[in-house]
Amino acid sequence: MKRHCNLAFFIPHLGCPNQCSFCDQRAISGAAKAPAPEEIAESCREYLASGGDGQNTEIAFFGGSFTAIPREQMLAYLKAVQPFLGEGGLSGIRISTRPDAVPEEILCILKEYGVTAVELGAQSMSDRVLEMNQRGHTAQDVREAAVCIRRQGFSLGLQMMYGLYGSTPEEERRTLEDCIALRPDTMRLYPTVILEGTCLAERYRSGRYVLPSWEEMLDFAAMAMGRLREEGIRLIRCGLHVEQDLEKRMIAGFYHPALRELAESRLYFKAMICWMEKYAAEYRAFSQNGHGHTRYSFIVETAKGCAGKAAGHKGENRRRLCERELFQNHLSAECRMKIREVPDLAEGQLRMYMQQLVSGPDGRTIIRIGEEVYDVFKIT
């Protein structure tokens, strides 16, 4: 299957009347410049002329409030890209916007201009959290907008933030489940990043806003990945895009170039812990019995391209496993952990066992003990 991609344009909502706690639109309003419709048309032309895979590429107007910008500006963008849609062109248009900015009338316009996917910045499904972060809309707005978007035949995307001011672990889980209940085709998970010049920055500096820990965030993101996969909803983004400018503007929060991989490798770690809990007794007996003529290893197998996720970022999973009481004094000295990729496993599968190499009069025999295959996305 060919990889889907976006030809993305960031359309800032300059002069936005809202004041969401995490948004630095006002602080950067002098520096942020909306691209001209002609520039966007030129980029589309260049993309197709250079052999870009139009049929698997959508034009994406991001920035969070596409339908809330002045009407003429929105129409100018939509008109500018019309020559590049359809046969031999790009596959459609994707926009992101606020849940309270998609009345039926706007959706009709979007349809007319070939918009295929509408993403809503839901952020939270707790009215209390939405209010504490000055979002200016309610969870009911998200529900109603989602229903209209689906009814009009658009692909529905929902964006959720994690770790907003005032949000509790229970509200994070509820938000995820409420989003799932709206049956989006795609979701994006954005753990909060605190930008200079925002209300969150002030609250953070004064100690009123305390971020959850990275551990909590990664556990949540890993759980969300599993839930969304289970529900057949594609998680198309986890964490903000890498952007040098953003790195300069942020003062704290969850920003990492490989945030999704960090969360995914946590799922692999959880599977390893499951195995350890199940086979602790066997492992102890195995590693403490003084196998004079045997060599043994702890084997972790993954699909092609997934060994790094099992090992964890900079070998973190391996290190954390070795720190476990069960493995201390054994793993590094006698029992070696091997992580390898094998052809018979699919992405997300993890096979684990202890392998013993027994030398006898008839040569060497390999014995596998405690062999298990896990679907890491189903580990809770």
Does 20 contact ligand SF4 by CB under 6 A?
A: yes
Q: Amino acid identity, residue 332? A: S
Euclidean distance between CA atoms 177 and 173, whole angstroms: 6
- Minimal distance, residue 7 CB to ligand SF4, in Å: 22
Contacting ligand SF4 within 46-75 (CB under 6 A): 64-65
Euclidean distance between CA atoms 288 and 59, whole angstroms: 60
Does 19 contact ligand SF4 by CB under 6 A?
A: yes
User: How big is the site for ligand SF4, counted in residues (CB under 6 A)?
Assistant: 10
Q: Amino acid identity, residue 335? A: C
Judged by beta carbon, residue 142 or residue 352, the one nearer ligand SF4 is 142
Please state the separation of Cα 224 from the chain's center in Å.
9
Among the listed residues 7, 11, 23, 195, the single contact to ligand SF4 using CB under 6 A: 23
Contacting ligand SF4 within 218-277 (CB under 6 A): none
Asked whether 238 and 225 are in contact (CB, 8 A), the reply is yes
Which helix (DSSP H) or strand (DSSP E) does residue 81 occupy? helix 71-81
Q: Coil, strand or helix: which one is 147? A: helix
The region of 14-22, 195-203, 204-212, 242-250 touching ligand SF4 under the rule CB under 6 A is 14-22
Give the CA distances from residue 137 to residues 12, 20, 120, in Å, rounded to whole numbers and listed in that order.
19, 10, 12
Judged by beta carbon, residue 18 or residue 356, the one nearer ligand SF4 is 18
Asked whether 362 and 329 are in contact (CB, 8 A), the reply is no
The region of 13-21, 273-281, 314-322, 368-376 touching ligand SF4 under the rule CB under 6 A is 13-21
Does 98 contact ligand SF4 by CB under 6 A?
A: yes
Judged by beta carbon, residue 95 or residue 376, the one nearer ligand SF4 is 95
Buried b (16+ CB within 10 A) or exposed e, 264-295: bbbbbbbbbebbbeebeeebeebbeeeeeebe
Does 18 contact ligand SF4 by CB under 6 A?
A: yes
Q: Please name which of 83, 78, 54 lies closest in space to residue 66, comparing C-alpha atoms.
A: 78
The region of 18-26, 141-149, 345-353, 363-371 touching ligand SF4 under the rule CB under 6 A is 18-26
Judged by beta carbon, residue 67 or residue 317, the one nearer ligand SF4 is 67
Does 13 contact ligand SF4 by CB under 6 A?
A: yes
Q: Which residues bind ligand SF4 (CB under 6 A)?
A: 13, 16, 18-20, 23, 25, 64-65, 98
